[in-house]
Amino acid sequence: MTAQALAGPVRPGPARPPVALGTTTAVWARAFFSKPGRVVAALEVIGALAIASVLPLRHWPGLPLAVLVTAFALALANAVVRVALGERLPRWSLQVDVGLGNILVSTAAAAGASGHVDLANLYLLVEVFALLYLPLGSALGHLGLAGAAYALVLELGPRPAEPLAVAWLAVFGTAAVLAAVVVGLVSVLRRVAREDPLTGLANRRSWDERLEAELERAARSGEALSVVVVDLDGFKAVNDAHGHSAGDRLLQAVARSWRATTRGGGDFLARLGGDEFALLAPGADEVAAHGLARRVAEALPEGVSASAGVATWDRSEGASALMRRADRAMYHAKRHARRDSGPRPA
């Protein structure tokens, strides 16, 4: 018997809706900016093109021309290296890229001043990259070094038409404002990416990252680690009877009550999706985790019940296996609990 006979007659499926241009652009942008090596290469090419664009504008003296051509070649060479090696280079190599970028911009700014061309604005490209992809302390350190380097360029190189302080502030005053804006936007975006918008708790992505980190820490320290998975009972009936807005208010009330229940500092509470929550309890063995689950039960708003499952790390399983055990325990408790009895940790 053929595969088609087993599957039955083939009917054409519904036509796929066209992909919106905005969606395609957003997907491309996420893919591009998630790879800092690609961004480095793109910025190096932009810097090289900026240098190349000023070369035909006037007759350059020999040394400044040689400096600009060398900076142009080095920028392109580093872009080629980044494209060729992709993301195989270690993360710390981005620090080298930022340092090299500031050196190239400084030399180009010094040489360009002899032809009355201001290339110092290229500092802004380097510093924005540093603020996006390096730890904040490192990025601010690079920004400070770049500011000092440009001050030396202004002091020792050809004098600009405006006062030195004005020339310096024109670049690094802008850089300081830009740094504040970028840091603010990055902090907001990182929070949004890891926070459930309805309850304000950590989302599934943040949970997965934290669980992996706590497993590594527990493996090093030898401490216990437990997870508690909690699923509200009858949540679908609330949505069906009173609407999704009532269900949203219930989830928010549960989240507020549980924030006050978790142990300060160590416990990590997240909404995994729908009406399912999870609590990570570093340092808690099985007995302590069951006690935490009981406190979660007692903190539920009046008239609300839930089923909870507890799993304590066996020191060999991975994150997925640990979560599967907690899920199985939760579903076992749900099958055997009455609607109004509250969570029964399995």
How many CA atoms lie less than 13 Å away from 146 in the CB half-sphere? 31
Using one digit for the tens of pLDDT, what is the confidence trace for 236-291? 888 778 888 888 999 999 998 888 777 565 789 999 999 999 999 999 999 999 99
- 329-335 mean pLDDT: 88
CA distance 44 to 68: 14
Pairing of strands 276-282, 268-273: antiparallel
Using one digit for the tens of pLDDT, what is the confidence trace for 303-321? 888 899 999 999 999 999 9
HEC string of the chain?
Answer: CCHHHHHCCCCCCCCCCCCCHHHHHHHHHHHHHCCHHHHHHHHHHHHHHHHHHHHHHCCCCHHHHHHHHHHHHHHHHHHHHHHHHCCCCCCCHHHHHHHHHHHHHHHHHHHHHCCCCCCCCHHHHHHHHHHHHCCHHHHHHHHHHHHHHHHHHHHHCCCCCCCHHHHHHHHHHHHHHHHHHHHHHHHHHHHHHHECCCCCCECHHHHHHHHHHHHHHHHHHCCCEEEEEEEECCHHHHHHHHCHHHHHHHHHHHHHHHHCCCCCCCCEEEEEECCEEEEEEECCCHHHHHHHHHHHHHCCCCCCCEEEEEEECCCCCCHHHHHHHHHHHHHHHHHHCCCCCCCCCC
pLDDT at res. 23: 61
CA distance 318 to 289: 19
Q: Are 332 and 296 in contact (CB under 8 A)?
A: no
Mean pLDDT of all residues in the chain? 85
Domains by residue range for the chain, with CATH = 30-194 (no CATH), 204-336 (3.30.70.270)
Amino acid 308 reads A
Of 306, 318, 303, 304, nearest to 346 by C-alpha is 306
Burial 180-200 (b: 16+ CB within 10 A, else e): eebeeeeeeeeeeebbbeebe
Of 154, 151, 99, 155, nearest to 130 by C-alpha is 99
Q: Are 262 and 219 in contact (CB under 8 A)?
A: no
Using one digit for the tens of pLDDT, what is the confidence trace for 108-159? 999 988 777 889 999 999 999 999 899 989 999 999 999 999 999 998 887 7
- Is residue 275 annotated as part of the catalytic site, yes or no? yes
How many CA atoms lie less than 13 Å away from 289 in the CB half-sphere? 27
CA distance 234 to 304: 9
Q: Which of 208, 275, 285, 340 is catalytic?
A: 275
Going 260 to 253 to 338 to 346, the CA torsion angle's sign is negative
pLDDT band for 22, please (50, 70, 90 cuts).
Answer: low
pLDDT band for 34, please (50, 70, 90 cuts).
Answer: confident
Using one digit for the tens of pLDDT, what is the confidence trace for 94-113? 999 999 999 999 999 999 88
